[in-house]
Structure 1
Amino acid sequence: MAGRFSSPEFDAESARARNLVGARLAELRRSRGMTQGQLAAALAPFGVRVQTAAVSKWEKGDSVPSAYQLFALCHALDFSAWADAFGDPSFLPDPALNPEGQALLAEFRSWLESRRRYRVLPAHPAPLVEMDVSLIPASAGFGEALDNNEFERVSFPSASVPEGADFAVRVHGDSMEPVLSDGQYAWIRKCAGLRPGEVGLFILDGEGYIKVYSEQDPAPADRDAFTDSSGILHPQPVLVSCNGNYAPKPVPAESEFRIVGRVLNG
């Protein structure tokens, strides 16, 4: 028995051979003035974290998005309906109409689309700016990646990039919720020092952290390690999470620690 949404004019094998999904995805992305990198970034809030290369493969037909990734694409590209994005409107008929009513609806839609006054006019694309984005998130191995200059160039709407930002890195985990979320871009301005209370990007023994910077008096056993050659005792850095489920992390005296920069959107 034919399915409710079946269409004798649709053939999945033929559609795959013609790269129907990839071609339509590329068309819709371009119509919204987005680069492949911007689309990849726009998927993160919907639970899909992919690199620019994945979007490129989808559009070329080298691979296809999963059903859930396809739904995320619909949200990221602000599709009004699944049918509007990937097929003829008749592919998903209105269950409230009989075949004659569906035919009239399709005919009326065609008439509306032929009239300029009813069509959505393309918006002027926002000015873009290319920025460096770390290839790995702020997590294990980040220090080595930063030292090796492992970045990719990604285009962003200029209005979305804070003034003074040098590069971006993806947040890893939920320790900075609700200020910064997993997969979100943190925009970094390079600097060598921070004031207590500022959010920064740090490298501690090779691992990247995005935390609130704080300080405390060193424990008696660590005082010598935090005293410089002039006899001045320096405070011990402490990395604090915004999420109360994570305890503050004092920086051990014997560790390799450095401040990379200030988070501008934290």
Structure 2
Amino acid sequence: MELNQWVGNKIKQFRLEKKLTQTQLADLIDTTKQTISRYEKGDRKANQDVLFALSDLFEKTIDDFFPPISKKNTPSAPQVELIPSTLQKINATSSKLEHERQLIVLDTAETQLQQQNTVEDSKNTVTDNIIPFPKLSSYNYYDQPASAGTGQYLNDVQVETIELPVDYDADFVIPIYGDSMEPEYHSGDYVFVKLSVNLSDGDIGVFEYYGDAYIKQLLINDEGAFLHSLNVKYDDIQIDADSDFRIIGEIIGSFTPIEM
């Protein structure tokens, strides 16, 4: 089981022990229900500040969120004595550290394990078929989704950071809610936004219309300007000089998360 899934299962277990809903827990640690859901599914890594807040709330230690250290020995005779001794030294030393320093030790160990697994996997793989580990890029992330449908408020939303295995020159990332931009964009996709007010006919962007944020295609013709949906079951939204309307930015890419 991946570490994020393990931690997510623990968050869910401790939440249910406290008889809290995802919404109630989100309110207690000042985040959103969607974020709690992603933590529990393992789609998103809980940072140290979140884990500190959860450990205080659940009356648990940081270690309670992580899997126990395996005591399984390898069959090699010299390592039977060396591995337990090394683990004992690591445990004895790290147990004396503050929680923040323990997390640094954990992150280092995870990185080493990941590199070790990558090397081991490569030994059993034909060189031409090796798939490189994707490089993660960090983006400003607005957890409140923009609507590909009926509209969703975007202002006054807390900005966070998200890491994704794609590289775009974007100013921020937001999730989509709704199906009005299918088949090009789907509900749950992340879209990458470049701030700009200079969009032309046919460009797809994020627009604020009477306080709600929409992901639409901008159409300009002899009949006027419209926010157009790619899904034919949705009507266009006409805009004019009297409309409470502004362009936020252009969509320069998208990413569909893998279902867990």
TM-score range, shorter chain: 0.3 to 0.5
> Of the two, which has the highest radius of gyration?
1
Question: TM-score, normalization: structure 1?
Answer: 0.47
